[in-house]
Structure 1
Amino acid sequence: MKLLWYSTILLICAEAVFGEKYEASWDSLDSRPLPEWFDNAKIGIFIHWGVFSVPSMGTEWFWTFWNDGGEVTEYLKNNFPPYFSYQEFAKDFTAEFFNATEWAELFANSGARYVVLTSKHHEGFTMWPSSYSYSWNSKDLGPHRDIVGELGEAVRAANLTYGLYHSLLEWYHPLYQSEKSNNFITTEFPEKKSMPELYELVNNYQPAIIWSDGAWESPDTYWNATGFIAWLYNESPVKDFVVTNDRWGQSITCKHGGYYTCNDRYLPDGLQTKKWENAMSLDRYSFGYRRNAKLADYLSSQELITTVVQTVAYGGNILINIGPAHDGTINLIFQERLLDLGSWLSVNGEAIYDSNPWTQAQKDNLTSNVYYTTKEKYYYAIFLEWPKDSQLNELSLGSVIDLFNEGTIVTLLGYNSSLTWTNSSESIQISLPDLSNVSTRNAWVLKIEAA
């Protein structure tokens, strides 16, 4: 099926670096410039959805927890007949309420610029009718639908960029287990199963992101990772705009790749030399949906906004994960958190999208919970807490003191008038407007225009 390309992808193509050919080596592949669209986008949505969404207990690693014993095993013993198999959950992965258009609208309203779907997690169940996953895919079982294709069309129609997560390993595939037990000397599993799936995904669905995972047990040479990425950058239909992460082998993560993810919920305390992404989840303990989660297990809207601000100030992108239920519904708490973020970005997104970290200061050196970004001639001071100790609503900033002179203009995004400020030897005191309805679930942005 030929995919429609929307304006987002057309703009991406204009940014591409043409003519360069990359060799199948990390030195060569790492020299490829990161397509600008990715750094500018800042915010993405991660979706963990699969057969593990049926039991929705523990985490998306339910199958391994089952085999390892413990709480999950006790749950199965008490609720399912003897000899029940994990594969039997697939018939209940029904997705009857899955509406790709509604999902895409929610993601767009959250302020996200890109979406990454788990096309296949470690359980091996593919969310598209893969030629390499016979009778263990979303077309043959469960919803009997091409989830990857449906969501891709809807995401692009909403002017968002579409990417796909893919697990290289499959926990209990006989070929993988056999080669693992023999220290990955032979490569039949990647050659006949996992890598053909990746080529199929790229050729059929043309994702702008390949988010690889599942290579922590094995070397990158087992997967021929550099060979695949060289094809991706040189010959594939997405070669001019695709981005890749760093999870291609046990010694590769956080060392090689288009950008770094390093580990789940990666949030360094400072600016990094390489573009990175914070792949985190609204559920503190799981990426997959959990029916038994407690309210305290979810990030609050304030915590989500804080994490977005910290991530972007330190030069990263944030990939915010949700786990839909087996029927295709998205938890109302997830929806609320995403829409709260979208409301905040509708006022303050100027300080987030297309911005750069301020190399002189990502965080203020005088007042805590103040972070900086910059764009063109502007500097943005994002403060996560309204000043509490000053009856004058006055915010003191230290890092920006050198930016201020008689011509400096300061405004508060969402507030029409410019603000007054005074200069001392150590700080700038900015008089904030008297906002009687200041929310405790928010953050504010000062826009500083240096003369």
Structure 2
Amino acid sequence: MAALALLSAAAALGPGLASPRYRPDWASLDARPLPAWFDRAKVGVFVHWGVFSVPAWGSEWFWWHWQGQHDAAYERFVRRRFPPGTTYAEFAPRFTAHDFQPREWARLFQRAGARYVVLTTKHHEGFTNWGSPVSWNWNSVDTGPHRDLVGELGEALRESNLRYGLYHSLMEWFNPLYLADKQNDFKTQSFVLKKTMPELYDLVLKYKPDLIWSDGDWEAPDSYWNSTSFLAWLYNDSPVKDTVVVNDRWGRGCSCRHGGFYNCADKYRPGTLPEHKWEMCSSLDRLSWGYRSNMSLPEVMDEMSMIEELVQTVSLGGNYLLNVGPTKEGVIVPIFQERLLALGRWLDTNGEAIYESQPWRVQMENTTDTVWYTSKGPVVFAIFLLWPRDSVLHLSSPIPSPGTQVTLLGFAGTLEWQKQPGKGMLITLPYMLPSPVPPQSGWVVKLEGVK
């Protein structure tokens, strides 16, 4: 964690210092301090939206399962729902975004407690949610919505003071240029030079993102993708060189090893405190990142699971990026809104233990996995996921002193505590009215004057 603290300190000094020039190699690029805003933000919302939102079935990998793998269930689905001979391209005009109200989205994400939002500008299907000059007739301006979705959302988020991240898939399943390069064992780079890189530069210059969330890298090495030269330009000369943050998906073998923060894998849980800044991406629909019209209630993450993931992630030094998939019309369905607003209400009360926090010397109570810790300077926060039966919270890790003060976030006044025989503390929690349903998931005691 010392390395993280140094990075944060260096990043906090900001662009006032003459920035070093980064070379297009990992040794140089990996040494760049992570801009401090990212670690402070802690909570983000991920949005998967594209032509895959039209069939809205299975997952956002619909096209691949249907025509890459010829999965019988997908073939049956298309036969039953669409005219014979339907192609994936014919779904694009039905991606209307008729009900897309970017300001409403921004307001929802803000109320959810998010500090940044990441939108799919282009998933593996290759359809771009902005008028890409190298994606003729396969973009949201030429067909479907006839709108610049990336630009409209960016404007609304910035009005709401939210940071903006752009997800971008390096590869495209069925692009003939990509398939030709793949056929040549990636010794040729037609696709990279004519499609991937022009689009990445265009996104940065046009929308000046705070974050680039790269994906679709796994089939080819970073030397094929020209990742290091792009990142050197991004860090040295781009309009966002001092503030932009990137992830770790820049070529086969890069994940968890190179780049800015690490994603490692989808829904990654490290188990112990990593040395490097990381992010956990998770999805409210447990089975898909894109919208599914046949999603059922048990398949949606409940409030308790959401709070648990957030708390465990932040205690271990990570950021939490929670995904929603809007409909083809641009509606975030009410169940997703309800979950996001529940997260926001929890953060309204307990955000002091989350935003701008640091991992403490102990991340989890060794006797149970239902108590997690964060810290801010000398203040320690103990986040307990289950309310103790006798309303007495046992904490074995903090070492109290005579001046120790204990409060419960969202509750006025201080709490009584006593030294636990052996080590630690016993904290008497306020009396909660008996209720068949717990009023919420997760509470926070703030400890001042403990070691």
> Which range, TM-score by smaller chain?
over 0.9
2:60 match: secondary structure? coil
1:48-81 deviation per Cα after TM superposition (whole angstroms, max 9, x unaligned):
0000000000000000110222211111111222
CA–CA separation in structure 1 for the residues paired with 2:101 and 2:346: 26
Equivalent residue for 1:9? none
- Counterpart-to-counterpart distance in 1, 2:392 and 2:301: 29
- 2:143 alignment partner in structure 1: 141
Structure 1 stretches (4+) deviating beyond 6 angstroms? none
Structure 2 CA distance for aligned equivalents of residues 356 and 408 of structure 1: 20
* Structure-2 residue corresponding to 1:433: 430
Match of 1:98 in 2: 100
Distance in 2, Cα, partners of 1:145 & 1:437: 52
1:253 matched residue in structure 2: 255
Deviation (angstroms), 1:450: 0.9
Q: In 2, are the aligned partners of 1:245 and 1:257 still within 8 Å (CA)?
A: yes
What is the CA distance between 1:367 and its match in structure 2?
3.8
Corresponding residue of 2:88: 86
Whether the aligned pair in 1 keeps the contact of 2:12 and 2:36 (CA below 8 Å) is no
Query: What CA deviation, in whole Å up to 9, does each residue of 1:162-205 have, x standing for no partner?
Result: 01000000000001011112210100100111111000000000
Q: Give the 3 Å change call, closer, same or farther, for CA 372–13 of structure 1 in structure 2.
A: closer
**Distance in 2 (alpha carbons) for counterparts of 1:368 and 1:171:** 41
Residue matched to 2:371: 370
SS at match of 1:407: strand
- Is the 2:246–2:261 Cα contact (8 Å) retained in structure 1? yes
Equivalent residue number for residue 408 of structure 2: 412
8 Å CA contact 1:216, 1:250 repeated in 2:
yes
1:48 counterpart residue number = 48
CA distance in 2, matches of 1:345, 1:337: 12
The aligned amino acid for 2:224 is Y
User: Helix, strand or coil for the counterpart of 1:450?
Assistant: strand
Aligned length in residues: 434
Alignment of 1:230-379 (within 5 A): 230-358=232-360, 360-379=361-380
1:360-398 CA distance string (max 9 Å, x none): 21001234300000002200000001002x2xx101011
Residues 317-367 of structure 1: per-residue CA shift (max 9 Å, x gap): 011000000001001111011000000100100000000011x21001234
User: Which whole-Å deviations, capped at 9, do the CAs of 1:72-109 have from their partners, x for residues lacking one?
Assistant: 11111112222110000001000100000000000000
The residue that corresponds to 2:28 in the other structure is 28
* 1:445 aligns to 2:408 (yes or no): no
CA contact (8 A) 2:46 2:118 kept: yes
Amino acid aligned to 2:198 = P
Deviations 1:284-329 (A, max 9, x none): 1110000111111110011101100000000000110000000010
Whether the 8 Å contact between 1:212 and 1:246 is mirrored in structure 2 is: yes
**Aligned match of 1:57:** 57
The answer to whether the aligner puts 1:395 opposite 2:393 as a matched pair is yes
Find the aligned partners of 1:417 and 1:251 in 2 and give their Cα distance: 52
CA distance in 2, matches of 1:176, 1:14: 42
Amino acid at match of 2:446: K
| Alignment partners' CA distance in 2, 1:63 and 1:14 | 46
What is the CA–CA distance in structure 2 between the aligned matches of 1:154 and 1:184, rounded to whole Å? 39
Task: Say yes or no: does 1:191 pair with 2:187.
Answer: no
SS at match of 2:24: coil
Residues 199-233 of structure 1, C-alpha deviations (whole Å, 9 max, x = no match): 00000000010100001101000011000000000
- What's the secondary structure of 1:15's corresponding residue? helix
Amino acid at match of 2:55: P
Q: In 1, are the aligned partners of 2:53 and 2:328 still within 8 Å (CA)? A: yes
SS for the counterpart of 2:153 is helix
> Which letter does structure 1 place at the counterpart of 2:101?
N
Matches within 5 A, 1:182-221: 182-221=184-223
Cross-structure match for 2:381: 380
Q: Indicate if the aligned counterparts of 2:12 and 2:35 stay in contact, CA closer than 8 A.
A: no
Q: Which SS does the other structure have where 1:408 is aligned? A: strand
Counterpart of 1:421 (choices 417, 425, 430) is: 417
1:437 Cα offset (Å):
6.0
Q: Which moved more, 1:124-133 or 1:365-374?
A: 365-374
Q: Report SS of the residue matched to 2:293.
A: coil
Distance 1:13 1:363, change over 3 A: closer
Query: d(CA) in 2 for partners of 1:312 and 1:61?
Result: 29
Residue identity (%): 53
- What CA distance in whole angstroms lies between the structure 2 residues aligned with 1:293 and 1:242? 35
CA distance in 1, matches of 2:259, 2:358: 21
Distance 1:13 1:40, change over 3 A: closer
Question: Aligned partners of 1:372 and 1:294: how far apart in 2?
Answer: 34
Instruction: Output aligned runs, 1:164-179, within 5 Å.
Output: 164-179=166-181
Contact conserved, 1:366 with 1:397, CA < 8 A, in 2?
no
Give the conservation status (yes or no) of the 8 Å contact 2:54–2:328.
yes
> Secondary structure in 1 aligned to 2:117?
strand
Give the C-alpha shift of residue 14 in structure 1: 7.1
Give the CA deviation at 1:23. 0.4
